[in-house]
Amino acid sequence: MTGTMPTVDAIRHNEPMSKHTTWRVGGPADVYYSPRCRDELLEFVRTLDADTPVYWIGLGSNLLVRDGGIRGVVIATGQALNGLRNLGGGVVEAEAGVPCTVVARQCSRWHLGPAEFFAGIPGTVGGALRMNAGAFGGETWERVTEVDVADRHGNVRTRDRGAFEVGYRDVRGPVEEWFLAARFQFNEHYEAAADRIRTLVSERQARQPLGLPSCGSVFRNPPGDHAARLIEAAGLKGAREGGAEVSPKHANFIINTGGATAADIETLIERVRATVRQVHGVALQLEVKIVGEPAGDPG
């Protein structure tokens, strides 16, 4: 074993994904790997068979993992890849595991921005890059100049933003590559960020059910409208399936009221989608990612 090989602690078998998702649901991952650093991660990836399914996650804040869990390997960058550096000239390099909230606060201290919108996003930079996460008019990819990616052979490349198709809460790029880090070009001498962060966080607290397990917005907003408005107008606030409930506070949030299964949440998602289609004629598109196998399905 070399110094960069994973320790037993870093690799867990049959790890319940409910421990690693903000909805607090999800069956076991066959293998769950939480690397300590980039070199160890790359070494680990090189040991995987070509046909082993690999799924990278950050903080699981946009994930519905089904009750039967995930076959293959889950790689969770949230505990590692934590480097955040000011490279000068307004350029910030953030590794994939850095929480978005840390990017917002540190950029504010460095007088760089705009990065305040990151403050309310409870995920990592890696997840934000995959989702083009955004809020209050700001979006992740607006300031990305280039990213470092790894493929399943453990090769690392730097790609500029032209290699990616960046859309609303969706980013497409070369297949079987995952984000290790990104470089952002921010404005220098940027002021008033700290005040704005406070305002944005309290606006969220007023509008969203933040103390309860959720995944934020379940559906993307359709062009020119808001998913929450459509769901509320369809009379679905407070609708329930088992332990899952359409939040009475924000209709585009589904909360786990305690004891919900992933199946409860998925059933409620489908009910909301069908009702909104029936009432408004609008086909809502999912923002959250649904992964894994249903309970009892051997895969």
Ligand X SMILES: Cc1cc2nc3c(=O)[nH]c(=O)nc-3n(C[C@H](O)[C@H](O)[C@H](O)COP(=O)(O)OP(=O)(O)OC[C@H]3O[C@@H](n4cnc5c(N)ncnc54)[C@H](O)[C@@H]3O)c2cc1C
Q: If we measure between CA atoms, which residue out of 173, 279, 179 comes closest to residue 233?
A: 279
CB of 200 to ligand X, least distance (A): 9
User: Binding of ligand X at residue 122 (CB under 6 A)?
Assistant: yes
Measured CA angle at 243 (ends 238, 249), to 5 deg: 30
92 contacts 187 by C-beta, under 8 angstroms: no
Q: In the annotation, is 169 catalytic?
A: yes
First-to-last alpha carbon distance for the chain, in angstroms, is 32
User: Binding of ligand X at residue 24 (CB under 6 A)?
Assistant: no
Q: If we measure between CA atoms, which residue out of 35, 15, 39 comes closest to residue 27?
A: 15
Query: Can you tell me which of 68, 90, 123, 138 binds ligand X, judged by CB under 6 A?
Result: 123
Q: Which helix (H) or strand (E) holds 39?
A: helix 38-46
User: Which sign, positive or negative, has the C-alpha torsion 25, 65, 170, 12?
Assistant: positive
Beta-bridged to residue 63, according to DSSP, are 289
Helix (H, G, I), strand (E, B), or coil: what is residue 216? coil
Residue type, 292: G
CB of 279 to ligand X, least distance (A): 25
* Nearer CB in complex with ligand X: 83/134: 134
Q: In the annotation, is 287 catalytic?
A: yes
User: Binding of ligand X at residue 164 (CB under 6 A)?
Assistant: no
The single residue of 15, 40, 116, 287 carrying the catalytic annotation is 287
CB of 227 to ligand X, least distance (A): 13
Q: Which of residues 47-76 bind ligand X (CB under 6 A)?
A: 55-63
The single residue of 169, 183, 196, 273 carrying the catalytic annotation is 169
Query: Can you tell me which of 119, 216, 266, 269 binds ligand X, judged by CB under 6 A?
Result: 216
User: Binding of ligand X at residue 26 (CB under 6 A)?
Assistant: no
Residues binding ligand X (CB under 6 A): 22, 55-63, 77, 96, 120-124, 126-128, 130-131, 133-135, 178-179, 210, 214-216, 289
